[in-house]
Amino acid sequence: IDRAVFQGLSQEALSACIQSLLGASESISKNKTQIDGQLFLIKHLLILREQIAPFHTEFTIKEISLDLKKTRDAAFKILNPMTVPRFFRLNSNNALIEFLLEGTPEIREHYLDSKKDVDRHLKSACEQFIQQQTRLFVEPLEEFMTKVSALKTMASQGGPKYTLSQQPWAQPAKVNDLVATAYKTIKTKLPQTLRSMSLYLSNKDTEFILFKPVRNNIQQVFQKFHALLKEEFSPEDIQIIACPSVEQLNLLLSVSK
Interval 198-208: pLDDT, tens = 999 999 999 99
Biggest distance spanned by C-alpha atoms of the chain: 91
> Is the Cβ–Cβ distance between 237 and 172 less than 8 Å?
yes
257 Cβ partners below 8 Å, 6+ apart?
208
Which residue blocks in the chain are alpha helix, DSSP H?
3-31, 34-52, 69-78, 95-102, 114-156, 172-201, 204-232, 235-241, 246-253
Q: How confident is the model over 71-80, as pLDDT tens digits?
A: 666 565 655 6
Asked whether residue 169 carries a pLDDT value surpassing 70, the answer given is yes
222 Cβ partners below 8 Å, 6+ apart?
138, 141, 243, 244, 246, 249
250 vs 107, more confident: 250
pLDDT band at 54 (very low <50, low <70, confident <90, very high): confident
Average pLDDT over every residue of 224-253: 95
pLDDT band at 90 (very low <50, low <70, confident <90, very high): very low
Q: Give, in degrees to the nearest 5, the angle at Cα 5 between 3 and 7.
A: 70
Domain 122-256: assigned CATH number = 1.20.1280
Tell which residue, 27, 35, 13, 29, has the closest CA to residue 137: 35
The confidence score (pLDDT) of residue 237 equals 96
157 Cβ partners below 8 Å, 6+ apart?
none
Report how far residue 238's alpha carbon sits from residue 114's, in angstroms, rounded to the nearest whole number.
Answer: 54
The confidence score (pLDDT) of residue 14 equals 84
Of 24-28, 29-33, 60-64, 174-178, the one with minimum mean pLDDT is 60-64
> Is the Cβ–Cβ distance between 25 and 41 less than 8 Å?
yes
Average pLDDT over every residue of 85-97: 51
Question: What proportion of the chain, given as a percentage, has pLDDT over 90?
Answer: 61
The confidence score (pLDDT) of residue 159 equals 81
Asked whether residue 256 carries a pLDDT value surpassing 50, the answer given is no
Asked whether residue 89 carries a pLDDT value surpassing 60, the answer given is no
Q: How confident is the model over 114-151, as pLDDT tens digits?
A: 688 899 999 999 999 999 999 999 999 999 999 999 99
Q: Give pTM, 2 decimals.
A: 0.77
pLDDT band at 62 (very low <50, low <70, confident <90, very high): low
Beta carbons within 10 angstroms of residue 186's beta carbon: 20
Q: Is 20 left (phi over 0), alpha (psi -120 to 50) or beta?
A: alpha
The confidence score (pLDDT) of residue 9 equals 72
